[in-house]
Chains A and B, each alone.
Chain A
Amino acid sequence: SQQGEEDPQALSIQEGENATMNCSYKTSINNLQWYRQNSGRGLVHLILIRSNEREKHSGRLRVTLDTSKKSSSLLITASRAADTASYFCATARNSGNTPLVFGKGTRLSVIA
């Protein structure tokens, strides 16, 4: 079953602008991860943030996590046309053998 929602469902921006995508989830989590998927391709892992962390950076990516609101955001700074893809958040309920549950995703289009 779907864990939560991403918003916006679709986002179109100009190259160089920042893109912010939000994710909400429903249950308690051990960690939250963001993935990218180019059309018709597999998933690329972007970043993992643990439940006891509030913010994490990786290159042009910045992820925040607010466990009290059960929400996370992914910020891509200085976007490039190559960032065009779908972005999904995924949550793991614990550190054991549970699967990742994916949000509905945001389709990002970066226009050159």
Chain B
Amino acid sequence: GAVVSQHPSRVICKSGTSVKIECRSLDFQATTMFWYRQFPKQSLMLMATSNEGSKATYEQGVEKDKFLINHASLTLSTLTVTSAHPEDSSFYICSARRSNTGELFFGEGSRLTVL
């Protein structure tokens, strides 16, 4: 089956640093990927839609300068949390839409802890 890989699965960083999370579709092309954030015991909140070769579309209330998204190829989207603060600590999950079928596949998530 189609696999979406996220890396790193866990990351701890100091406040003020930037952290990059990768979302890769391993055996299919994904023109569109989506980034979600999930706080403990809460649901997934859509952050942005990542489109290959163009700018990401951010949801209301999500700072595009804070959460930089780059979708430079059909198999890779990256989310960079810039100048991270403890309140950015969360579980970040990506999903990739398979270009030829439209099916959505989710990554295993990346847990960010900002100290």
Against A, the Cβ 8 Å flags (1 = close, 0 = not) of B37-73 are: 0000111111001000000000110000000000000
Tell yes or no: B91 within 8 A of A by CB.
yes
Q: Which residues does chain A contribute within 8 Å of B41, judged by CB atoms?
A: 107
* In the complex with contacts A1-B60, A95-B102, A100-B104, A43-B93 CB distance below 8 A: yes
The smallest C-beta distance from A99 to any residue of chain B, in angstroms, reads 4
- Interface of chain A, main secondary structure: loop
Residues of B within 8 A of A103 (CB): 43
Answer whether residue A29 sits at the interface, using C-beta atoms and an 8 A cutoff: no
B14-22, B78-86, B107-115 - interface stretch:
B107-115
**A40 with B111, Cβ < 8 A, contacts A1-B60, A101-B46 known:** yes
Docked complex Cα distance between A105 and B42 (Å): 8
Residues on the B chain within 8 Å of A43, using CB: 44, 93, 106
A-contacting residues of B (Cβ < 8 Å)?
A: 31-32, 34, 36, 41-46, 49, 59-60, 91, 93, 95, 97, 102, 104, 106-109, 111
Residues on A lying within 8 angstroms of B by beta carbon are 1-2, 35, 40-43, 45, 88, 95, 97, 99-105, 107
- CB-CB nearest 3 A-B residue pairs: A42-B108, A43-B106, A99-B34
